[in-house]
Amino acid sequence: MAEFTMELNDEQKEVRDWLHGFAADVIRPAAAEWDEREETPWPVIQEAAKVGIYSLDFYAQQYFDQTGLGIPMAMEELFWGDAGIALSIVGTGLAAVGVLANGTEEQIGTWVPQMYGDANDVKLAAFCSSEPDAGSDVASMRTRAVYDEAKDEWVINGTKTWATNGGIANVHVVVAVVDPELGSKGHASFIIPPNTPGLSQGQKFKKHGIRASHTAEVILDNVRVPGSCLLGGKEKLDERLARARERARAGGERVKNAAMATFEASRPAVGAMAVGTARAAYEVALDYAKTREQFGRPIIDNQGVAFQLAEMRTQIDAARLLVWRASWMAINGRPFTAAEGSMSKLFASETAKKVTAQAIQILGGNGYTREYPVERMHRDSAIYTIFEGTSEIQRLVIARTLSGMPIR
């Protein structure tokens, strides 16, 4: 087990500086254009693939870093560049995590490489969990997967929404209900291979922020996939469902489903994204406050501005520490006995919203225009308190974990 440390090693520092350079030289110059276009920034993704950032190898190296700091460090630097473009680059990772966390070795080896493709033929993947009537309320999920034993196929019907890369992805990972009587415990995740009949893109959303990231509905109409596309395999699923039924009869403990396992693994990473956006806005505000003069002196000479910057930096550093702690615990198999993963996402997400708003205030009228990036950063920051578990859901998870009570 790696010791917890707040210091990156030399290799991690080298990767961080490399990512920072890519974010500064490639992502930032393109940020405003792709935000306005509201389209997937394929040229930037291809550049990321050429240098090795958008690749299975790079993602795996960071994911399996035994210090736990590889992924949060990478996310912070890329999202420091721009949240929308960065999400287009890392969005495939959520689907990859779904397979890595729940799939067999054969499934991981078969499907994760197809999610990325290569520098000459870039591919995308999408993780599809939310539905029009089932976002935070996962127990209300309606997408159904029915097993056709004669053909060893699963037949999937339903509509997914808010799917990053939904409909344009090469590979989709879809969460569906296999046993409605078990509620959220009766869910399973499935790989939908490329060009599977019955899968189509529904509405593409026009969003407040992260507009360079493609978000859409995914419609599944009698989609048939081989039995081998059930993540973890049918034997493992049957065992899990049997335990869930037994515990339900006995009024016993919760059983985690595949979607929730994916979200637990990714929450600190989302926190790191929020830290990157917050840090970017803080740096713009700090530079502006040093150079902008009012009444014959830089505005940072005023306590009202200086104290805001001090608070912003303090909150950013505190958020990063929570993210790093949760990331270290996750990679080293330490259980989140106090919901540390949710804590990291909650605090970092709320920090990003607050810090970007303060940055606009420090820039005044300039901050409210698109001539300066803090306006875009503020729009982007709103998503962190919403996707992969709203701030309200994080508070509920933390409260339930601390109290041991079924708080509603």
pLDDT recorded at residue 156:
98
Tell me which amino acid residue 160 is.
Answer: K
CA atoms of 349 and 380, how far apart (whole Å) = 11
Residues 69-104 pLDDT 10s: 999 999 999 999 999 999 999 999 989 988 988 999
Pick the CATH number of 125-250 from 3.40.50.720, 2.40.110.10, 3.90.226.10, 3.40.309.10: 2.40.110.10
- Bridge partners of residue 293, in order along the sequence: 298
Residue range 10-122, CATH number = 1.10.540.10
pLDDT recorded at residue 385:
97
Residue 157, both tokens: 């019907």
The DSSP annotation for 247-305 comes to: HHHHT------HHHHHHHHHHHHHHHHHHHHHHHHHHHHHHHHHH-EETTEEGGGSHHH
The pTM for the full model equals: 0.93
Share of the chain above pLDDT 70, in %: 96
Catalytic residue among 3, 350, 388, 392: 388
Task: Lowest mean pLDDT of 254-258, 264-268, 324-328, name the range.
Answer: 254-258
- Average pLDDT on 186-203 reads 97
User: How far are the Cα atoms of 11, 165, 396 from residue 212, in angstroms, in the given order?
Assistant: 31, 11, 31
Please give the mean pLDDT across all residues of the chain.
94
Banded model confidence at residue 134, pLDDT cuts 50, 70, 90: confident
Residue 53, both tokens: 């950032």
pLDDT recorded at residue 49:
97
pLDDT recorded at residue 255:
45
Residue 200 has what DSSP assignment?
Answer: E
- Check whether 15 has a pLDDT greater than 50: yes
Active site residue 388: yes
| Phi, psi dihedral angles at 187 (to 5 degrees) | -100, 155
Q: So where are the chain's domains? A: 10-122, 125-250, 258-403
User: How far are the Cα atoms of 82, 163, 251, 397 from residue 403, in angstroms, in the given order?
Assistant: 38, 33, 18, 10
- Check whether 13 has a pLDDT greater than 50: yes
Q: Which CATH class is domain 258-403?
A: mainly alpha
Q: What angle do CA 298, 304, 307 make, to 5 degrees?
A: 100
Banded model confidence at residue 254, pLDDT cuts 50, 70, 90: low
Query: Residue 340's closest CA among 352, 358, 328, 349?
Result: 328
Tell me which amino acid residue 120 is.
Answer: N
Task: Lowest mean pLDDT of 148-152, 283-287, 386-390, name the range.
Answer: 386-390
